Amino acid sequence: MVRGDSPATELFPQFKDTLYEMVAGEAHGLSEDQLDFESDRWEWSRWSIRRNISHMASGDFRWMWVRWGAQLFPQGLPNGTELDAICESPHDRRLDEDKYWDISALLEKVKEGLDLCWSVLATETVDSMRTRVLETPSDTLWAEHPEIFPNGVREFPGDASKVYLTLEASFSHRYFEYLAHLFNVQRLKKAQGLEPAVKLPFEGYMALPGWDKSEP
């Protein structure tokens, strides 16, 4: 059983190597055309494999630096200017496609984002992950599904338009986001007659009853 004073890395070991290996494994050997396949046939096929990976890479920087940065890095970071530039993308929830388009560059950013996450986990304890909170709007995905964030979403006193999200729940959200977008990547591969490369655990957002699980 994980103790309160245990390192937070014990809560999310997937951020060390597993998530990167999953993303890199699904991208391995794909041609440019396969990476860029998009279709209007399904909602999940409107973003290509490349753009799903770009979104995964962008998310860790935006959560750890933009959302949590003031609490986690009150003195800033040596590469804070670089992180600001990464987060100031003109593309919705993705990296700047003029700077990060080649798949090797995107995978490098996925690794850097996960390394940033791991550095946070390495300095936090289980207790601190559960006591640190972030104020967020209540009409968000995590607030609408508190059942998959045990004790991670808390009422904001006096204002129903907001909730408190713990640092632990934020990491759960990132993990669930990786799984959901890896599922999209696998569906995009199947739509092109390609086989998925890894087996995904069926949990998080993709396991919700109303989640779109359609496949080609």
Helices and strands in the chain: count of H runs, count of E runs = 9, 3
The predicted model gives 165-178 an average pLDDT of: 98
CATH superfamily of the 15-21+32-207 domain:
dinb family like domain (1.20.120.450)
Cα gap 176→157, rounded to integer Å: 27
Can you give the pLDDT at residue 48? Answer: 98
pLDDT in tens, 17-32: 999 999 999 999 999 9
The predicted model gives 123-145 an average pLDDT of: 96
23 contact partners, CB below 8 Å, separation of at least 6: 53, 56, 107, 110, 178, 182, 185
Q: Which amino acid is at 56?
A: M
CB atoms within 10 A of CB 91: 14
pLDDT of 158 strictly over 90:
yes
pLDDT in tens, 75-122: 999 999 999 999 999 998 999 999 999 999 999 999 999 999 999 999
pLDDT of 136 strictly over 90:
yes
DSSP 114: H
